[in-house]
Structures are given as structure tokens and as C-alpha cells.
């Protein structure tokens, strides 16, 4: 199963403070905007999403169809195919993609320790 680019999405209290902290670790602004209350920060192939007021807790995020530079890739497993594989392996999903659609969609699940995983396809 190809899950795509990996990042961690952090729920932050103060976007400016978090941005400054991760810049000190060598991350730079890659996407998002302060006006939209989220930033994507990048350090080589490592991505961190900083989200203020959008969700509680942190998310492990996978983006099928994207590489670590958010560029589309040709060969990837569609989120609906991933969904079917997970269900066939008796993984309970918190939310599902409409299997009758194509293109952007997402699913959510939790690992055995309650960590939330978002599989978010943008292409």
C-alpha cells in the first residue's frame, strides 16, 4: 500500500510562536498562510503542518499522489483503494471516502494507541 508523502499536522496554540520555533530548527515556510491559520513548514524531505484552531490533538498525515514537495506523482494508490484494503484487514475507519467518486478525498482512522491518522488525497 502506497500512502504517499508523510507529514505531522500539529494543533498549535500560537502560529507565530510555533513558526519561529520551527524556523530555529531549520524549517522554512513551504505552504499555507498566517491569514488561513495554518503553515506548512519544510526541512529537506521533512514536513510539519502547523494548524491554529482547526482541530484538537495532532495528526499523522499521508498524502497519496504527492511527493514530499507536494508535487503530483503518476503511480500511487488512490485513497479509495487504500480504504478498501484497510477495511479488508478489519481496520475501523473514523471517516470514509465516497467509493463512487474520483479525485480528492480523505479517510481517517486511529492506531491502537488512539493516534489519529489522516489519509488526505489532493489529486
In order along its 123 residues, the chain shows pLDDT tens digits of 999 999 999 999 999 999 999 999 999 999 999 999 999 999 999 999 999 999 999 999 999 999 999 999 999 999 999 999 999 999 999 999 999 999 999 999 999 999 999 999 999
Name the nearest CA neighbour of 11 among 48, 47, 65: 48
List the alpha helices (DSSP H) in 1-120: 15-24, 79-88
* pLDDT score at 1: 93
* pLDDT score at 22: 98
* Enclosing H/E stretch for 119: strand 116-121
* pLDDT score at 85: 98
pTM for the model stands at: 0.91
Return the CATH fold of 5-121: 2,3-Dihydroxybiphenyl 1,2-Dioxygenase; domain 1 (3.10.180)
Q: Which residue has the cell 479509495?
A: 80
Strands (E), 13-115: 28-33, 38-43, 46-52, 59-63, 93-95, 105-110
List the alpha helices (DSSP H) in the chain: 15-24, 79-88
Give ∠ CA 9-57-82 in degrees, rounded to 5: 55
Amino acid at each position: 500500500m502506497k500512502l504517499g508523502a508523510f507529514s505531522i499536522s500539529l494543533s498549535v496554540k500560537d502560529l507565530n510562536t510555533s513558526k519561529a520555533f520551527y524556523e530555529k530548527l531549520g524549517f522554512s515556510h513551504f505552504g499555507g498562510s498566517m491569514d488561513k491559520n495554518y503553515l506548512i513548514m519544510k526541512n529537506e524531505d521533512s514536513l510539519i503542518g502547523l494548524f491554529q484552531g482547526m482541530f484538537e490533538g495532532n495528526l499523522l498525515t499521508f498524502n497519496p499522489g504527492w511527493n514530499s514537495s507536494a508535487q503530483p506523482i503518476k503511480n500511487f494508490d488512490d485513497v479509495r483503494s487504500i480504504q478498501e484494503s484497510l477495511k479488508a484487514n478489519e481496520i475501523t475507519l473514523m471517516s470514509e471516502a465516497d467509493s463512487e467518486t474520483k479525485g480528492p478525498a480523505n479517510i481517517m482512522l486511529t492506531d491502537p494507541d488512539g493516534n489519529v491518522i489522516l489519509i488526505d488525497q489532493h489529486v
